[in-house]
Amino acid sequence: MTTKYYRCTLLTDVVLNTSLATEGNMQSLDYIPGSNFLGIVATKYTDFGADAYDVFHSGKVSFGDALIANGNAVSYPIPFSLFLDKLKKDITKDSVWVHHGIKPTSGKEGIKLQLKQNRTGYINGKKEYFAGIEKEFSLKSAYDADERRSKDSAMFGFEALKKGQQFIFSIIYKDKKYIARVEEQLLGNKFIGKSKTAQYGSVKIETLNDVTVIEDRPNKNNYIVIYAESNLCFVNEHKQTTFQPEASDFGITGGTINWEKSQIRTYSYSPWNNKRNTAATQRDVILKGSVIVIDITNKADIESLPKQMGEYNAEGLGRVIYNPEFIDYRENGIWEWEGKLKHLQEDNKDNQGRFTEIEISKVKTPLAKILAKKNNTVLKEKNISDKVINEMRSDNAKKLRTNKITKTQWGAIREKATHAKDIDQLIKQLFEPGTGYLTHGVAAERIWDKQRGAKRDTLKSIIENNKDLGTIFVAKFAAEMAKNVNR
């Protein structure tokens, strides 16, 4: 078996829709399915004669998906077993946990964290991270040939992969005799995707050597971690597609899939057959990036396990990696690669790695102004959330983390922050001597007046130190403090 790698450079924007629908919000895939490369070669289907079945149907030649690349490093979908703090979103800077390695424990400094699955992005063997793929949106109109103008009520839009980007894919040849014949049709300037006769779909495909890849590793535990490099499609004993494969489907005897430790996402789709001008049979697949943990009783020889399995191997489905290095973890499930990733999308970031605000006055079109305002709003909320979690871990917050300050108190502070006109008005409502919420009444005498008002002064100091973040910061901080009561 021989694996060869190829680079696909987008010479124009490329349209690869996520569904067959022709109406509604059309979205593009963030990778190039292997079926596109199979299709390029299949344009000369009859030239292969008796070998056509082996090349295009049997799986003896497997055309893999093309993923975004930087140089010669092959990228992989982010494994679904990686989790971050719910308030954190940057996998290159924040703490990351590996799901099957997590033990019941509190987070840093005794704060219980809510973990959220990280589902987007790509990583490679050089520890580089792609948060997303660059895309372009174009608004089009159908043409009325009779009137020689744009057709009425016929506007539509295309979301496309932006030109200039490079993707890497591989082809697995189970017989070397097919390599030259496949490359004869594959290499060079080709067209893929929708609207190939218009302005879209032009790509350049060339061979690639000396690539950096993630490889299988020997098993050292009483379980095997299987990473889905591509989508996986399995059938059950009734010859129906299934989302619940058995350990035997992966070539492992005497093993059991540990569903509790596995992280699997699923997807159903029907590919379009352009030759027959109709949709093919629906496929129910386990999404690439899924992580399957299989408990074993006997020592497993990883080298003897299949590298492809399931159905539709010719189109690149069924590829897996055993025990890849990017799912290793340290004590308490902390990801081994934590803090080692380099973020490759730096265009919209400042020198501290944070997304910057867009100056509205410099934006020209109405749509761009709307998107700029939305960007700035999301950015502000993220910065506030980051500041809240940092403040929660400060010494000042530790002084306030006591059951004597009840959830009701924090809830009332949050409510006042939500309704206050601005931060100055809120400070007055909370701390005005004799009339402020925290300076009079039973709660003040029982909680806030103790130790000469030390807790009240601490809270006021936190609010004033973050005054530039406004009342939203106070509302979020109070909500987080309420969660820690009785813990």
pLDDT in tens, 113-132: 788 898 889 999 999 998 88
Mean pLDDT across 88-109: 76
Q: Please, which pLDDT band fits residue 354 given cuts at 50, 70 and 90?
A: very low
pLDDT value of residue 194: 82
Mean pLDDT across 41-69: 90
Given a contact cutoff of 8 angstroms between Cβ atoms, the answer to whether 76 and 326 are in contact is yes
List, in sequence order, every beta strand (DSSP E) within 229-357.
234-235, 241-242, 255-257, 266-269, 272-273, 278-279, 283-286, 291-296, 320-322, 342-343
Mean pLDDT across 170-179: 92
Token match 């009734």: residue? 238
Q: Is the pLDDT of residue 110 over 80?
A: no
Higher pLDDT, 99 or 447: 99
The model's pLDDT over 63-85, given as tens digits with 9 standing for 90+, comes to: 999 999 988 999 999 999 999 98
Q: Please, which pLDDT band fits residue 235 given cuts at 50, 70 and 90?
A: very high
The model's pLDDT over 252-309, given as tens digits with 9 standing for 90+, comes to: 888 899 999 999 999 998 887 777 888 888 889 999 999 999 999 888 788 888 889 9
pLDDT value of residue 20: 63
Higher pLDDT, 185 or 156: 185
Mean pLDDT across 441-469: 85
The pair of structure tokens assigned to 272 is: 């379009």
pLDDT value of residue 352: 39
* Nearest residue to 186 via CA among 171, 166, 196: 171
Higher pLDDT, 385 or 153: 385
pLDDT value of residue 300: 79
Calpha distance 184→205 (Å, rounded): 11
In this structure, of 89-93, 383-387, 483-487, the range with the lowest mean pLDDT score is: 483-487
Chain length of the chain? 487
CA atoms within 13 A on the CB side of 462: 27
Q: What is the DSSP pairing of strand 320-322 with strand 223-228?
A: antiparallel
Q: Please, which pLDDT band fits residue 358 given cuts at 50, 70 and 90?
A: low
**CATH 2.60.40.4350 matches 223-323:** yes
Burial of residue 285 (CB within 10 Å: 0-12, 13-18, 19+) is buried
pLDDT value of residue 264: 94
Q: Please, which pLDDT band fits residue 343 given cuts at 50, 70 and 90?
A: confident
- The kind and range of the H/E element at 135 are strand 135-144
pLDDT value of residue 40: 92
Tell me the average pLDDT of the chain. 85
Mean pLDDT across 246-253: 90
Calpha distance 338→467 (Å, rounded): 32
* Nearest residue to 386 via CA among 95, 149, 77, 119: 95
Please give the share of the chain, as a percent, with pLDDT higher than 90: 32
Instruction: Record the pTM.
Output: 0.69
pLDDT value of residue 297: 84
The model's pLDDT over 16-30, given as tens digits with 9 standing for 90+, comes to: 887 765 555 567 888
The model's pLDDT over 307-327, given as tens digits with 9 standing for 90+, comes to: 899 999 999 999 999 999 999
* Nearest residue to 67 via CA among 135, 163, 162, 168: 168
List, in sequence order, every beta strand (DSSP E) within 43-106.
61-63, 67-68, 75-77, 82-85, 96-98
Q: Is the pLDDT of residue 335 over 50?
A: yes
* Nearest residue to 170 via CA among 307, 306, 290, 43: 307
Domain ranges of the chain: 1-212+332-345, 223-323, 394-483
172 vs 113, 195, 244, 308, 341, CA distance in Å? Answer: 43, 29, 26, 10, 29
In this structure, of 105-114, 127-136, 365-374, the range with the lowest mean pLDDT score is: 105-114
